[in-house]
Amino acid sequence: MPKLSDAEFPSGCKSLPEGFWSAVEVWVKKPHVVNKRLCGATQTESRDVDSGDLRKLLDSNEEELLQDVFQFLCGGVSPSHTHQKDKPWSSTVRTFIPKVNCYGAKQQKEVVLKDSDRQHVTFLPFEEDSAAGRASLKRCNIYQLRLCSKGCEQWALELHVLTSDGWFSDGVAYPKLPWLSSDLLPKLVRWATECKSSEFKSTLSLLPVEKYSLTYQQLKEKYKSMVKVWPEVTDPEKFVYEDVAIATYLLVLWAEERAVKSLTDPQSFVDLGCGNGLLVHILTNEGHPGRGIDVRRRRIWDMYGPQTELEEKAITPSESFLFPGTDWLIGNHSDELTPSSYSCRFFVLPCCFFDFYGKYQRRQCRKSQYKEYIDFIAEVSQVCGFSTEEDCLRIPSTKRVCLVGKSRTYKQSDEAEIDQRRASYIQSRQASTGAAVQRSDVRKSRDCCHGSGECDDTSGSAWGDGFQPRDGAEAVRNCSALPRDVVDGVVQKVAEALLGMSEATSNGDWNQGGSLSVREVAALLRQETLQLLKNECGGLQTLLKNNHQVFKVEGGTVRIRDWRDGTESQRRPAVPGALKTRLCWFHAHHPQGCPLQEQNCTFAHGLDDLRPSTRPLKKLKIF
């Protein structure tokens, strides 16, 4: 029963021993945060057990093995001599859920025994074959974590094993023995030291993790080809797998709802602010009737085919946008709050911090901005009469807290009273934010049975005069749409200032100029020019970087680019069909001209050297 390794806690750690048990809880309930090959784990309710109960629980015919286990649990001393309690251990059974099922019908489980008197926790793994109706204890993989006091507020966490001989490892439910020392032990020490609770709920707290894991693997395999044909400029892996995970969550959530309510038909949905439309495409393919609406069409929409219904439309707060026949409204990273019918449910994944009348204004500095905004959305939901639940998705995003409204807190006959409460709340938000937009007809926010959800004419039923939906055309704010004379003027002025800092030498060396900080460059420009640049993302620095031919911008310092530096090593191979499509700035404006010969310069030395590109335009793949 050797001690395999140990890890010491920081001197004077105040979070122990409570922090030790908090860390153990994380490892028991969320093993996937350390072991990335697991999706999670389920566990039975804990109960207090004695040696007799433990014999029945382990259900082993090997008396010698049971004696070894009891000796291991008690550190070589009989339990009757070491515990005052009748039932000294708290027992639970956890079942591992692998990301990829490599065990077939067999389930990998552990009996977790907590000994609060000794500050020990022991893990007894066993394999359960449900088809054969038997379970087998894995003697060679039994291990124990011990919190040991060294005196004078010195603590250590020790890892003990029943036997290190024949340790079995498959890298999933059974990690390698060195991994327990090198990865698990340091994590437990850190968690015990920090001993802080999260602001949010546990991941996937509203769903059965087993069903989620199985569905996710199926959808991931089915839609992984999207990564290869993604036509948008966004990161394909992040967006594809994020939407696959969100679709998985909704599909499992809806399956559970059908089971509870004895529903037979798949739930319908509308995705408001659907963006790239992939979530709509997946949900539709999986049998749920629905559509997506967004103010701006995306290129990828053409790839989905006619079965995926996507509309380019601005959603105006009015009775014409209440979708009466829809079961679920989806707000996936949307920036609008939308009402719904009494029978409608919602799923929202808040992202952008918006109120009813503009950007959300913070009120509490003790909470993070994100937590405060999530609480605000939950408050809106509760005021609107929803029974609201919070959960965390397993997606590659920092904004992964979702709110789910599956039922109402009032009867449908009370709709008029609740509607008045909604109207008062919206008006109070306008007053508190000091919004200039006047909502003259908030009282019209009645149940959506009065609206069709299809009409585009909102003139007679708008809830607020002056509401302006976002422009369908995405604003280009990377300085590329600035007037050409403004850009040329800034380039010329900055270049002249840099060249004026270093005079050409008598031996004819090419003048490379000096260097200026971006702040110093800004001081050279007129106020109206700076104001124009302020409206662009990145401002002056972006404009200078856009003019890569002339300037080299590194670490906030601006220099004249010398194309002779590393020309041979840095030049990319010529692309077939690529010609000189832009004039050389140095040839036209530098007092000494371009430092490169015409045949070596990638830009045209005069109009005669200028040629249009002959490369064919890229075509979208259709699948």
SS3 101: coil
Residue 271: is its pLDDT beyond 70? yes
**Averaged confidence pLDDT in the chain:** 82
pLDDT over 90, % of the chain: 40
**Distance (Å, rounded) from C-alpha 551 to C-alpha 546?**
9
**Distance (Å, rounded) from C-alpha 105 to C-alpha 82?**
40
Structural domain boundaries in the chain: 3-78+85-194, 209-429
pTM, two decimals, is: 0.68
What pLDDT, on a 0 to 100 scale, did the predictor assign at position 445?
35
In the structure encoding, which two tokens stand for residue 480, read together?
């590329």
- Average pLDDT score over residue span 87-112: 88
* 128-148 residue pLDDT tens: 876 666 777 888 899 999 999
What pLDDT, on a 0 to 100 scale, did the predictor assign at position 187?
94
Q: What is the CATH number of domain 3-78+85-194?
A: 3.30.530
Residue 324: is its pLDDT beyond 90? no
φ and ψ at 350, to 5 degrees? -60, 145
- Average pLDDT score over residue span 365-382: 88
Tell me how crowded residue 300 is: count the other CB atoms within 10 A of its CB.
21
In 3D, which of 91, 355, 374, 102 has the Cα closest to residue 217? 102
User: Which runs of consecutive H residues, i.e. helices, occur in 232-368?
Assistant: 236-261, 278-285, 301-304
What pLDDT, on a 0 to 100 scale, did the predictor assign at position 131?
67
User: Which runs of consecutive H residues, i.e. helices, occur in 464-591?
Assistant: 484-499, 518-522, 527-534, 539-546, 567-570, 585-589
User: Residue 616 — very low, low, confident or very high, per pLDDT cuts 50/70/90?
Assistant: low
Any idea which residue has 């260097």 for tokens? 515
- Average pLDDT score over residue span 288-317: 90
Task: Name the residue type at position 228.
Answer: K
Residues contacting residue 621 through CB under 8 Å, at least 6 positions apart: 229, 231, 303
Residue 283: is its pLDDT beyond 80? yes
**DSSP codes joined into one string, 204-248:** TTTS-HHHHHHHHHHHHHHHTTHHHH--SSS-HHHHHHHHHHHHH
In 3D, which of 145, 151, 133 has the Cα closest to residue 189? 145
What pLDDT, on a 0 to 100 scale, did the predictor assign at position 358?
76
**Distance (Å, rounded) from C-alpha 438 to C-alpha 442?**
10
* R_g over Cα of the chain: 33
Peptide bond into 17 cis (omega under 30): yes
**Distance (Å, rounded) from C-alpha 71 to C-alpha 77?**
6
**Distance (Å, rounded) from C-alpha 17 to C-alpha 145?**
13
Residue 520: is its pLDDT beyond 60? yes
- Average pLDDT score over residue span 587-603: 90
In the structure encoding, which two tokens stand for residue 521, read together?
């460059």
SS3 551: strand
In the structure encoding, which two tokens stand for residue 396, read together?
């590659």
Tell me how crowded residue 322 is: count the other CB atoms within 10 A of its CB.
24
Most confident of 71-75, 239-243, 247-251: 247-251
**Distance (Å, rounded) from C-alpha 405 to C-alpha 421?**
18
* 173-210 residue pLDDT tens: 999 999 999 999 999 999 998 856 667 778 899 999 99
User: Residue 553 — very low, low, confident or very high, per pLDDT cuts 50/70/90?
Assistant: very high
Q: b/e map of 431-440 (b: 16 or more CB within 10 Å)?
A: eebebeeebe
User: Residue 153 — very low, low, confident or very high, per pLDDT cuts 50/70/90?
Assistant: confident
User: Residue 566 — very low, low, confident or very high, per pLDDT cuts 50/70/90?
Assistant: low
Cβ distance 86 to 50 under 8 Å? yes
Residue 623: is its pLDDT beyond 50? no
Cβ distance 266 to 287 under 8 Å? yes
- Average pLDDT score over residue span 238-250: 93
Class of domain 209-429: alpha beta
What pLDDT, on a 0 to 100 scale, did the predictor assign at position 82?
53
Residue 467: is its pLDDT beyond 70? no
The more confidently predicted of residues 2 and 445 is: 2
- Average pLDDT score over residue span 403-428: 87
User: Residue 440 — very low, low, confident or very high, per pLDDT cuts 50/70/90?
Assistant: very low
What pLDDT, on a 0 to 100 scale, did the predictor assign at position 459?
39
